[in-house]
């Protein structure tokens, strides 16, 4: 009997634990908050994925490394690299320049015309010299240039300046050339021969 009385006393002294279920309003509030967090998370991840640059070496927007054999002779037709959208020009004054292979008018792809010794845009007829200088046509300026770093066999290194001027070779032998297609030097001046 003592155990029955003890059990009755224990039941009476125990506090009743009750768990209330959320109301309909609380439940909808939690669902809305969870949906909003998921939506913002997905949108944030999508924006970061889209904005994160994925340029690798050897793809447009990245860096191209070329050997000395890929540079044309002085005054010869430029060497075009469609994968990098650029032309390498070895000018008659023994200097090197890398031109962005897109017309400054509406983005067509000018090509070198050997018979006229100049770049000609097939879309609207803009014309440019071997060094990318504007000659005639609707293009508003000369061809843009890429930042280029030339490593010479004697250990010296030359990089294009902020104006994108040609790099003087001065008879030195080229070991390699790095062309940063993500770093374009925009030519300025309305129809100026820059």
Identify how many contiguous H helices and E strands the chain contains and give both numbers: 2, 12
Mean pLDDT throughout 63-92? 81
At 11 the pLDDT is 63
Q: What is the pTM of this model?
A: 0.64
Mean pLDDT throughout 44-61? 71
Class level of CATH domain 63-185: mainly beta
pLDDT confidence tier of residue 194, bands split at 50, 70 and 90: very low
CA nearest to 164, candidates 139, 142, 192, 190: 142
Q: Would you list the DSSP string of 174-190?
A: EEEEEEEEEEEE---ST
Per-residue buried b or exposed e for 6-40, using 16+ beta carbons within 10 Å of the residue's own CB: eeeeeeeeeeeeeeeeeeeeeeeeeeeeeeeeeee
At 6 the pLDDT is 65
CA atoms of 124 and 105, how far apart (whole Å) = 8
Domain spans of the chain? Answer: 23-52, 63-185
Tens digit of pLDDT for each residue in 8-22? 656 666 666 777 888
Least confident of 48-62, 83-97, 115-129: 48-62
């Amino acid at each position: 009997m003592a155990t029955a009385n003890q059990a009755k006393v224990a039941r009476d002294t125990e506090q009743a634990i009750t768990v209330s279920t959320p109301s309909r309003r609380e439940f909808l509030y939690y669902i809305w908050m969870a949906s909003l967090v998921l939506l913002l998370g997905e949108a944030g991840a999508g924006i970061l994925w889209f904005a994160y640059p994925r340029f690798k070496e050897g793809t447009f927007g990245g860096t191209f490394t070329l050997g000395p054999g890929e540079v044309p002779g002085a005054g010869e037709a430029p060497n075009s690299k469609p994968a990098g959208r650029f032309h390498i020009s070895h000018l008659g004054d023994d200097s090197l320049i890398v031109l962005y292979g897109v017309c400054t008018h509406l983005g067509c792809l000018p090509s070198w015309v050997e018979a006229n010794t100049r770049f000609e845009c097939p879309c609207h007829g803009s014309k440019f010299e071997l060094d990318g200088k504007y000659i005639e046509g609707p293009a508003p300026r000369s061809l843009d240039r890429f930042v280029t770093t030339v490593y010479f066999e004697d250990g010296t290194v030359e990089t294009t300046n902020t104006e994108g001027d040609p790099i003087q070779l001065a008879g030195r032998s080229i070991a390699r050339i790095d062309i940063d297609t993500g770093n374009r030097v925009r030519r300025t001046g309305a129809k100026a021969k820059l």
